[in-house]
Amino acid sequence: MLPHEIFLKIICTLFGLLVGSFLNVVIYRVPREESIAFPGSHCPKCSHKIRWYENIPVLSYVFLNGKCSQCKTEIPIQYPLVELAMGIIGFLLAPKFFSLKQAMIFIFYFSVASIFLSHLIIDIRHKLLPDKINLYFLAIAVPYAFIFLPFTHAIVGGAIGFLGPYTVTWLFWKIRGQIGLGGGDIKLFGILGILLGPIGILNNIFVSCTLGAVVGLLFILFKRMDKNTALPFGPFIIIVATIQIFFPEIAEYFNFFAPN
């Protein structure tokens, strides 16, 4: 590995650790409709204002023994894990050389990873895919598609991703009087459609729905939930999309809608 590659790896890793710390704020505050800027970082139990040296990604958790320095309330293990995960992602996505194009690609993929991780944790905990995070996803997906993807790929994919699930959900509500998919799921499908295109989003819808149905059935069979319990669907969309975007060679194994 050349010196400039090592330097970029270090910078991107540190950047990832810092963003991971910020994501913990997003994951905690956005579902509660709190500002992510004010007040500053503080203990939710005793309101102790967290000092800078208590907010160093991963290290502060270790030095504080996983507890608030004032009230000794345990800090959830999620905090260092999210920071560490984003640091690793930054390391793995770091470009081999610096250029404007490489920087744009890094920021895009790193942002997608940040969005997916935030959505995943929030949906598991709150059964919610917040509009604020989806709007940020849209804000990076549209410029990326405009620069790097064919116009029809993005437009048709986005239309299928949004209108397909929306129509099915509307019909389900009309026939059964129940809401099948939440608004956040539908919006996420639509944004993913812009990036994945018509074939990619059809594969995502099919595979994520199948995966969700199988997991839901297993949960019911093993009495982890009953048939009336709502299962967060966002994680299945995100798992499939992660494979499609970051591991396209694996996604080829479930490319059911590709033309012969």
From 57, 79, 98, give the residue that closes a domain.
98
Q: pLDDT per residue over 35-77, tens digit each? A: 998 888 999 899 999 999 999 999 999 999 999 999 999 999 9
Indicate if 76 and 202 belong to the same structural domain: no
* Structural domain harbouring 130: 100-260
Q: Which residues contact 233 (CB under 8 A, 6 or more apart)?
A: 123, 181, 182, 185, 208, 212
Compute CA distances 174 → 178, 180, 232, 250, whole Å: 8, 11, 22, 38
Are 65 and 115 in the same domain? Answer: no
State the pLDDT at residue 2: 84
Question: How many domains are there within the chain?
Answer: 2
pLDDT in tens, 176-203: 766 778 899 999 999 999 999 999 999 9
Does residue 139 contact residue 193 with C-beta atoms inside 8 Å? no
Q: Are residues 136 and 225 in the same domain?
A: yes
pTM: 0.93
CA distance 128 to 16: 25
145 has a pLDDT exceeding 90: yes
The residue out of 81, 98, 115 marking a domain boundary is 98
Residue with the larger pLDDT of the pair 81 and 37: 81
Residues 87 and 108 grouped into a single domain: no
Q: Verify that 29 and 104 share a domain, yes or no.
A: no
Answer yes or no: do 201 and 250 share one domain: yes
What pLDDT was estimated at residue 28?
96
Q: Which residue reads 């199988």 in tokens?
A: 214
